[in-house]
């Protein structure tokens, strides 16, 4: 009886081990059991176990936003300038200019009969003139020490004009030349048509070696006419540190020229009968030839 029981148990175990449920793969159980047994055996025998690390994210390097590295200095605090204990004496100028001619007038000087001028500029300010360097780079003008100082930047005649427009007049300017040589020249420009952009008009000039001329410039055709060619005259004070007074009497087409109050010539020219006036300077013997204008004034003629 005991024997029969043992046989039945063996038969039932065989039946169970040979059956499987639908969809169930018993090989997986065997593989899993074998793998587990292997891992357990490694642990027990001290064999190192290879463990795959968990995946980690590699950090991405992000470029920082560019920053402004320019350092701007803050505006300095205004400082109070202490007053000097004693006034500093003004140094004497290195060169002394020839003084302006005396008030004694020549017999032919129109000023003796004209009375008070209608317009006077003593050059204390630059209100009546364009200052700085002109756009074409021919001349530069500044006001200093009570003078209008007009500098030639090229070896040709250059000019600047003021704003009044006059018709019949006597125009006079007192001019000084600290440095001057040979054919370097300076003087008056007048009857510049108001709408011409200062590219037309008459030029009355004297040279540093004692000559004068009357020219008429037509800027449109780029032509210089000579109603009076360069002519020597003893009324001109020559050379450096000279002071000369130039005058123009313009009445209709009649143009009379004066140097230091002396009438030196007259012509008839009706090309321009009114306009603005100004100062001219030019030449190539002295670098940056500069004429100092002490005063300009005019009288309107009836």
Q: d(Cα 199, Cα 221) in Å, to the nearest integer?
A: 10
Q: pTM for the whole thing?
A: 0.66
SS3 at position 35: helix
Q: How many helices (H) and strands (E) does the chain have?
A: 3, 15
pLDDT computed for residue 185 by the predictor: 97
pLDDT computed for residue 104 by the predictor: 59
Chain length of the chain: 302
Q: 210 CB contacts (<8 Å, ≥6 apart)? A: 232, 233, 234, 236, 238
CB contact at 8 A, 140 and 124 = no
Query: 78: which DSSP letter?
Result: P
Could you tell me the two tokens for 131? 């200052």
Q: Which of 246, 64, 97, 67 shows the shortest CA–CA distance to 177? A: 97
pLDDT computed for residue 45 by the predictor: 36
Q: d(Cα 302, Cα 109) in Å, to the nearest integer?
A: 18
Q: d(Cα 100, Cα 174) in Å, to the nearest integer?
A: 8
Q: What is the pLDDT of residues 211-239, one digit of tens each?
A: 999 999 998 888 999 999 999 999 999 99
Q: What is the pLDDT of residues 40-80, one digit of tens each?
A: 444 333 333 333 333 333 333 333 333 333 333 333 333 33
CATH class of the region 111-300: mainly beta
SS3 at position 166: strand
Q: d(Cα 31, Cα 38) in Å, to the nearest integer?
A: 10
CB contact at 8 A, 218 and 191 = no
If phi > 0 it is left, if psi is from -120 to 50 it is alpha, else beta; for residue 113 that is alpha
Q: d(Cα 186, Cα 146) in Å, to the nearest integer?
A: 19
* Regions in the chain scoring below 50 on pLDDT: 1-103
Could you tell me the two tokens for 184? 């370097």
Could you tell me the two tokens for 124? 């204390």
CB contact at 8 A, 279 and 149 = no
Q: d(Cα 75, Cα 176) in Å, to the nearest integer?
A: 44
């Amino acid at each position: 009886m005991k024997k029969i029981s043992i046989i039945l148990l063996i038969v039932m175990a065989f039946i169970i081990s040979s059956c499987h449920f639908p969809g169930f793969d018993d090989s997986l159980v065997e593989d899993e059991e074998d793998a587990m047994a292997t891992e357990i055996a490694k642990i027990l025998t001290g064999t190192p176990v290879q463990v795959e690390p968990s995946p980690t994210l590699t950090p991405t390097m992000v470029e920082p936003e560019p920053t402004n590295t320019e350092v701007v200095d803050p505006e300095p605090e205004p400082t109070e300038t202490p007053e000097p204990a004693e006034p500093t004496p003004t140094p004497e100028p290195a060169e002394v200019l020839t003084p302006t001619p005396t008030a004694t007038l020549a017999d032919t000087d129109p000023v003796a009969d004209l009375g008070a001028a209608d317009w006077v500029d003593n050059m204390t300010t630059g209100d009546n003139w364009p200052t700085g360097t002109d756009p074409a780079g021919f001349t530069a003008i500044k006001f200093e020490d009570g003078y209008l100082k007009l500098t030639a930047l090229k070896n040709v005649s250059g000019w600047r004009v003021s704003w009044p427009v006059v018709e019949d007049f006597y125009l006079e300017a007192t001019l000084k030349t600290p440095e001057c040589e040979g054919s370097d020249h300076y003087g008056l420009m007048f009857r510049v048509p108001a709408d011409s952009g200062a590219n037309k008009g008459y030029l009355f000039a004297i040279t540093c070696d004692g000559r004068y001329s009357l020219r008429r410039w037509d800027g449109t055709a780029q032509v210089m006419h000579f109603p009076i060619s360069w002519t020597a005259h003893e009324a001109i004070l020559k050379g450096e540190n000279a002071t000369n007074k130039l005058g123009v009497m313009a009445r209709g087409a009649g143009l009379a020229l004066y140097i230091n109050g002396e009438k030196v010539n007259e012509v008839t020219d009706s090309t321009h009968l009114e306009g603005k006036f100004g100062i001219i300077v030019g030449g190539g013997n002295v670098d940056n030839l500069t004429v100092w204008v002490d005063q300009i004034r005019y009288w309107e003629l009836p």
